[in-house]
Structure 1
Amino acid sequence: MSDRLIFLLALFSVTGSGLIAGLFFAFSSFMMTALSRIPNAQGINAMQSINATILNPTFGALFAGTALTSIVLAVLSILRWGEPGSVYLLAAGLLYLTGFIVTMAFNVPLNEALAAVEPASSAGSEVWNAYLSKWTAWNHVRTVTSIGAMILFVFALRHIP
């Protein structure tokens, strides 16, 4: 594979991981706190709406597309081990994929559980209170992995001719 194509894949990956990091950072730094300060039913309704609307082609292409390019770049880094930037590509790809896996294993099931509750019910409030702490904790992990991946993809770009 040409250095030019690897550069373009890494450029997409740094952009994707940066945009995803920003999204996750917003939720970690203020969105979830804001949602926790309003009545439970309103917070649940808002998060259910966010979770439904984020599932769109633009977000999907960016989130999953960055995971795909991360896999490709990680494999290529192993095949081209010793080439400039290989270690950064491997570390960046694995870090982004860690956040992607956290999303699928933890955040998505929590989102599905929240989607199943009636916002005004006592069961809804119980789910919401647990959701706020668990989902946010896992979101912090996703934030850190996405930021780390972005930084490492930038380092990799500096070494690709």
Structure 2
Amino acid sequence: MELTTKQITLFIGVLLTGLSAGLFYAWAVSVIPGTRRITDLVYLETMQSINKAIINPAFMIIFFGSVVLLGISTAQHYQSGSIFWVLLAATVTYLIGTIGVTGMGNVPLNDALEVLKLNKFSLNELATMRKEYETPWNRLHMIRTVFSVLSFALALAAVFMNSRTNFNQ
């Protein structure tokens, strides 16, 4: 069996979306609980460091590649009936719920944190800053986690629909 460009695009789009959803889920169930156990200064310093480190090619390929390949796959399945609509839902869900929430919510919080010279603040000020950052950041992270997992589930459903369609032909 020879794979088509359409099948390869769908496969890679689903793979990248799954990796993105997995990253966000793993963060939610490991990093967030772990950071609750550290002091305010260490938490804020850690988040400053992570926010710099996450901007790398491997993350960017997964984060943005998901929506690009889902979008291409959606266009390729334009004449495919319900598969098209499921892929469109996966693409829009990821674009708005993952990229949109990150860009409009988490990134501005990260940018505001980045400019702070943490060693110049009192313990009380650090506690306040942490609360003002951590609470909304974690809430936004949960939203993007749910949307990325939903997008992955929809994209995976499209794969099953596609394989069933191809099998019946």
Q: 1:96·1:146 contact (CA, 8 Å) conserved in 2?
A: yes
Query: How many pairs are equivalent?
Result: 157
Q: Taking structure 1 as the reference length, what is the TM-score of the superposition? A: 0.87
Instruction: Give the AA of the match of 2:92.
Output: L
Q: Percent identity?
A: 29
Q: Normalization by structure 2: what TM-score?
A: 0.83
What's the RMSD between the two structures over aligned residues? 1.9
Structure 1 residues 110-151: Cα deviation after superposition (integer angstroms, max 9, x where no partner): 111111112342444422211111011011111111111111
* Range with bigger deviation, 148-157 or 30-39: 30-39
Aligned to 2:101: 102
Contact 1:42 1:119 in 2 (8 A): no
Structure 2: segments with no counterpart, 5+ residues: none
Counterpart contact for 1:36–1:132, Cα < 8 Å: no
Q: What amino acid maps onto 1:90 in structure 2?
A: L
Q: Distance in 1 between matches of 2:151 and 2:42?
A: 34
Hey, what's the Cα distance between the residues in 1 that align with 2:33 and 2:117?
Answer: 21
Q: Does 1:52 align with 2:52?
A: yes
Indicate the structure (1 or 2) with the bigger Cα radius of gyration. Answer: 2
5+ residue gaps, structure 1, are none
CA contact (8 A) 2:13 2:73 kept: no
> Shift of residue 81 of structure 1?
5.2
Aligned to 1:152: 154
